[in-house]
């Protein structure tokens, strides 16, 4: 009997060998959609072309990473992937959005193509039947505008995903679709799903009780200058019981800020203190926003809770999924030896994911795991 | 449209579905910082805030009017 969902992993950074490993891992899966996540030294365009040639009925998207994982293994340097068969997806459309000429027009062109290929009006499409995956270039700071463009084209549909990485080098990231590559764009997949599905979003933080209103920010550069009218570095450092001179990556990782939506934090992680007194984030924060100082909780237990909640909403155990895990969570997992406990939570069911430079669902966020879970 | 409470009422009528309202409201919060389910008194009649919200909703295809 053909499998309808299969994950695969290759430790090779040679595209031909990696494709062969993935095909072996997929076995007899009747693939309609393939999503892969590969090391930036691997030729992702060649890999996606090889997979498209082997599975001509499938749409193939992928991106480079800051590490790859399946339900059974976490690694850096190879590729993870998942194949969705026709029992899971009735229809699928893929597109590559090139954003050098402008984010809005590039995303508009790509989303229009998705709708045309699936013969569906994205504004009227049933959000319980259609779902999107979105892989963004991770270095051009276009994720907010790209997510807004997705919201303008299809306000009620979910596109879940993450930002491509290059294993912490911060030089170039790529997204792929059916043999094409782009270093300044997005790879999109729209699925007409044949089974129940849910989106989940989890982070390991809770609000401390301290909150501020952002009173000055450079939104385009993702820099905040003042909170409640006070210099941001003074206000933030005082809240975490240190001085501006002692703010470093360790403090930032433990104490990001978050927007609270329906009692859930949407995390914005500080990147570094700037010489001009600003605090640069990995995510845009607008003037007027109320942000809450966060403190760490238990990453594994929070994921366990998120998966239980996803299964409650699904009404049954999930059969598999695609997960997007922040590189800052990966660093915490590296330090705490948490990869194995995390993978165990997937219970051996097919999962493919990668460690990202940012996560997406309705908007852009940090220090989060976003995922699509299929029944 | 005079204030955000009117915007919330109009959007609620238009979408007529709590789940859909939640999705659009989440997008709105991430774009503008304004939560239509928790409108502060200083936001409600602030013309620049109301304009920002109306513009974001219009970009999403929900034309709810203009501020006076």
B34–A261 C-beta distance less than 8 A: no
A313 CB near a chain B CB, below 8 Å? no
pLDDT digits (tens, 9 = 90+) for B4-62: 999 999 999 999 999 999 999 999 999 999 999 999 888 898 999 999 999 999 999 99
Q: Residue A348: which residues within 8 A CB-CB, separation 6 or more?
A: A71, A72
β-bridge partners, A59: A33
For A362, the closest of B30, B59, B61 (CB atoms) is B30
B47 CB near a chain A CB, below 8 Å? no
pLDDT digits (tens, 9 = 90+) for A134-170: 999 999 999 999 999 999 999 999 999 999 999 999 9
For B60, the closest of A155, A266, A286 (CB atoms) is A155
With H, G, I as helix, E, B as strand and everything else as coil, classify residue A310.
helix
Position A353 scores a pLDDT of 98
Position A1 scores a pLDDT of 65
For A266, the closest of B22, B30, B49 (CB atoms) is B30
B14 CB near a chain A CB, below 8 Å? no
* Closest Cα in chain A, distance from residue B57 (Å): 9
Q: Which of A112, A117, A125 is nearest to A178 (CA)?
A: A117
Torsion sign, CA atoms A131, A137, A138, A142 = negative
**Predicted confidence band at A354 (pLDDT cuts at 50, 70, 90)?**
very high
B35–A156 C-beta distance less than 8 A: no
Average pLDDT of A302-331?
98
- Judging contacts by C-beta atoms under 8 Å, the chain B residues touching residue A363 are 26-27, 30-31
Q: Phi/psi of residue A53, each to 5°?
A: -65, -40
Residue in this structure with the two tokens 């990696």, named with its chain if needed: A18
| DSSP symbols for B7-59 | HHHHHHHHH--HHHHHHHHHHHHHHHS--TTS--HHHHT-HHHHHHHHHHHHH
**Predicted confidence band at A30 (pLDDT cuts at 50, 70, 90)?**
very high
- Judging contacts by C-beta atoms under 8 Å, the chain B residues touching residue A158 are 23
CA closest to B58 among chain A residues: A152
B61–A290 C-beta distance less than 8 A: no
A127–B61 C-beta distance less than 8 A: no
Position B68 scores a pLDDT of 58
- Mean pLDDT, all residues of chain A: 97
Residue to substitute from B14, B22, B23, B30, interface A, most A β-carbons within 10 A: B30
What's the predicted TM-score (pTM) here?
Answer: 0.96
B26 CB near a chain A CB, below 8 Å? yes
- Judging contacts by C-beta atoms under 8 Å, the chain A residues touching residue B29 are 259, 261
B33–A362 C-beta distance less than 8 A: no
A214–B27 C-beta distance less than 8 A: no
């Amino acid at each position: 009997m053909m499998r309808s969902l299969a994950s695969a992993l290759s430790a090779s950074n040679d595209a031909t060998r990696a494709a062969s490993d993935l095909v072996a891992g997929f076995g007899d899966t009747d693939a309609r959609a393939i999503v892969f996540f590969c090391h930036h030294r691997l030729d992702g365009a060649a890999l996606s072309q090889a997979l498209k040639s082997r599975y001509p009925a499938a749409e193939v998207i992928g991106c480079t990473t800051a590490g790859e994982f399946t339900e059974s293994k976490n690694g850096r340097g190879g590729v993870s992937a998942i194949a969705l068969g026709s029992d899971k997806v009735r229809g699928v459309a893929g597109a590559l959005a090139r954003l050098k000429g402008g984010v809005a027009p590039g995303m508009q062109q790509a989303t229009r193509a998705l709708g045309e290929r699936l013969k569906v009006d994205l504004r009227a499409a049933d959000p319980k039947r259609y779902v999107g995956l979105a892989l963004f270039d991770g270095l051009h700071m276009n994720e907010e505008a790209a997510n807004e463009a997705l919201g303008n084209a299809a306000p009620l549909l979910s596109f879940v995903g993450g930002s491509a990485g290059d294993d912490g080098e911060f030089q170039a990231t790529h997204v792929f679709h059916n043999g094409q590559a782009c270093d300044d764009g997005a790879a999109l997949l729209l699925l007409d799903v044949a089974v129940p599905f849910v989106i989940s979003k989890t982070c390991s933080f809770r609000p401390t009780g301290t909150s501020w209103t952002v009173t000055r920010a450079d939104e385009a550069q993702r820099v905040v200058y003042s909170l409640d009218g006070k210099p941001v570095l003074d206000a933030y450092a005082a809240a975490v019981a240190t001085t501006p001179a002692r703010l470093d990556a360790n403090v930032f990782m433990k104490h990001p800020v978050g927007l609270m939506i329906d009692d859930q934090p949407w995390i914005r992680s500080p990147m570094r203190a700037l010489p001009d007194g600003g605090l640069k984030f990995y995510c845009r924060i607008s003037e007027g926003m109320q942000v809450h100082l966060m403190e760490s909780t238990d990453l594994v237990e929070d994921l366990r809770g998120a998966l239980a909640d996803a299964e409650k909403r699904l009404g049954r155990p999930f059969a598999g999924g695609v997960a997007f895990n922040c590189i800052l969570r990966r660093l915490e997992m590296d330090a705490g030896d948490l990869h194995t406990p995390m993978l165990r939570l997937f219970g051996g069911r097919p999962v493919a994911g990668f460690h990202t430079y940012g996560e997406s669902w309705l908007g852009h966020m940090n220090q989060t795991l976003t995922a699509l879970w299929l029944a | 449209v005079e204030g955000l409470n009117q915007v919330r009422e109009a959007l609620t009528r238009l979408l007529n579905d709590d789940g859909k309202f939640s999705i659009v409201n989440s997008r709105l919060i991430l774009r503008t910082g304004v939560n239509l389910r928790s409108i502060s008194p200083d936001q409600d009649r602030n013309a620049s805030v109301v304009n920002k919200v109306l513009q974001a909703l219009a970009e999403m295809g929900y034309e709810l009017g203009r501020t006076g």
